[in-house]
A and B are shown apart, each in its own frame.
Chain A
Amino acid sequence: MTITTTSAAITATGLRKSYGDQVVLDGIDLNIPRGSVFSLLGPNGAGKTTAVKILSTLTTADAGKAAIDGHDLASDPDRVRAAIGVTGQFSAVDLLLNAEENLRLMADLWHLDRRVARWRCAELIEQFDLVEVAKKRVVTYSGGTKRRLDLAMTLVGAPRIIFLDEPTAGLDPRIRRATWQIIRNLVADGVTIFLTTQYLEEADQLADQIAVLDHGKVVAAGTPEQLKRRVPGGSIVLQFAATTALDDASRRLGGLMIRNDEDLSLQIPSDGSAQSVQTVLNQLDTQSIQNLSLRTPDLDDVFLALTGQPRTNTDEKVLA
């Protein structure tokens, strides 16, 4: 892959990063067109946050090259910073200031003209439903309100490229949907979004391109449709009464499955149709099945389908 495309908002080749002897990013290539939404999808510890930190100049890559808005990350970080907005996983707001003051702080640091700053902050307060709390100190805000302010602060300077690191993690479904709408509005204005998420649905809803990250490597990339075609739409979960029954069933079925010895269950990829359920059941001794349930696709299924093996949770907390 080359990084000559001038129309690209973000390009990268061979980004690598290790902390000690732990490899966090193991050669990432990116080519994200302007005005599109790119989603890096992966579990905790996959390297998503590290990728955002490298691309937003918070840390440097051990190897590889990247350019944001045509500016080289290593040689011209100030121009990169002038082009981007970043909302990290943890709220970067001043708790002792109120919403208005936080936004004005950003406006001052973006070196906006005083009049423009006043207008822009008022607009964002309105847009992000912060009118009622505008004069209250942030320390009194709920988690969702704080997150809205955090996002509004990122937008003060109207950056054309925005990094959102798990913007909806820990938010309730209503606020999550509201956040999605904000992101859609930004995209409608031609802003490029780099989004990391653990939720397949979020990537599906928003992204033009998705890359699935696992242990620092992109294991699959494509449009949501391309990826979903490879994810057979969910899984059948079978629970057994005894280990012998579990052994017997996994032998009979073969192929891809997640076996859980603790709750004696098998998870088999499936499109959720009655026929697929019947096909599975026909191969088994139905007497030995204690419980059957259907699951809609989630990240586990993506991993099962795309990597051919269930994702390992052993180092999930490493970068949490």
Chain B
Amino acid sequence: MSTATYAVSDTATMLRRNLKNQLRYPTSVIAIVGIPVLFLLLFVYVFGGALGTAVTTIASGGDNYVDYILPGLIIMTAATGSLGAAASTSVDLTEGIIARFRTMAIFRPSILIARVISCEIQTLASMALVFGVALLMGFSPTAGFGGWIAAIGLLALVSFALTWLGMAFGLAAKTLDAASNAPFPLIMLPFVGSGIVPTDSMPTGVRQFAEYQPFTPIIETLRGLLMGTPIGNSGILALAWSAAIALIGFIWAMKAFARDRTR
């Protein structure tokens, strides 16, 4: 007998459960959307007067500060989504229901596959909400249809990668607190990149870090796709970083999932 026969139906069952849980516990979506929206409001309306003029004269992204910072905050949403993945995975493990699943003749990977899909859906929906808020604040992208499709593809890939990483955090952590604190540095990473201000304006040491960290090429690519700024080799780097993060997250999550957690 092979449980692989049930790969699709078990994954669908698990996915239904996850989506129901997400709808009934909207707190996680509120956190995922809330953090980037808070920063969006803070940077545009509080710091925007001083920062905005300075930034938009350096960067070639037009004179609208919300246009400049939105890509960074969308990527921050992928990071907060990763935190949501870590938390929901960890809750499942502490509640004992995963142990029940493990004693059943099901296609085991369905537990992780369904979690990745549901978290990805959650993150993409959260990104749409952040986009919506930005549009209300005067965000005016110049992208055409192709640009949007490419941008959505990029965001799906980035959130896929960060979801695996978040799940790995959730599976590896011993407690829920540890699981939800672990992805926190990821949320701050767009700040030390080209998310809020161009890297050119930073002191040498910080600038080198900012230019070589994974979020910068991803943000630059997204900005290019949405606002028409030059992408250069950022596109390739963004894809490579996403693939690398997804692979690390996947291998780590698989390892942590297979670990004997009866102790």
Interface residues of A (CB under 8 A from B): 19, 50, 53, 56-60, 78-79, 81-82, 84-86, 88, 90-97, 101, 105, 108-111, 137, 153
Contacts and interface: CB of A to CB of B under 8 A. Distances in A.
A108 B103 contact: no
Nearest to B91: A95
Contact of A53 (B104, B105, B262): B262
A137 B24 contact: yes
A60 B263 CA distance: 12
A96 B96 contact: no
Contacts of A91: 96
B97 A59 contact: no
B99 interface: yes
Contact of B1 (A79, A90, A109, A153): A79
Contacts of A88: 96, 99-100
A109 B10 contact: yes
Given A78-B3, A78-B105, A109-B101, A58 B20 contact: no
Contacts of B100: 86, 88, 92, 153
29 contacts: A19-B263, A53-B262, A57-B103, A58-B99, A58-B102, A58-B262, A60-B260, A78-B3, A78-B105, A79-B1, A81-B104, A85-B103, A86-B100, A88-B99, A90-B96, A91-B96, A92-B95, A92-B97, A92-B99, A92-B100, A94-B97, A96-B21, A97-B17, A97-B20, A101-B20, A105-B17, A108-B13, A109-B101, A111-B6
Interface of B: 1-3, 6, 9-10, 13, 17, 20-21, 24-25, 95-97, 99-106, 260, 262-263
B20 A110 contact: no
A248 B244 CA distance: 76
B111 to A, nearest CB: 10
B57 to A, nearest CB: 50
A84 B102 CA distance: 12
Contacts of A110: 104
A270 to B, nearest CB: 40
**Which 8 residue pairs are nearest across A and B when measured between Cβ atoms?**
A92-B100, A82-B105, A81-B105, A92-B96, A59-B262, A108-B13, A86-B103, A96-B24
A78 B108 CA distance: 10
Nearest to A60: B260
Given A92-B96, A96-B21, A96-B25, 15 more contacts: A19-B263, A53-B262, A78-B1, A78-B105, A81-B104, A81-B106, A84-B103, A88-B96, A90-B96, A92-B95, A94-B95, A97-B17, A109-B10, A109-B104, A109-B106
A59 B260 contact: yes
Contacts of A79: 1, 105
Contacts of A56: 103
B11 to A, nearest CB: 11
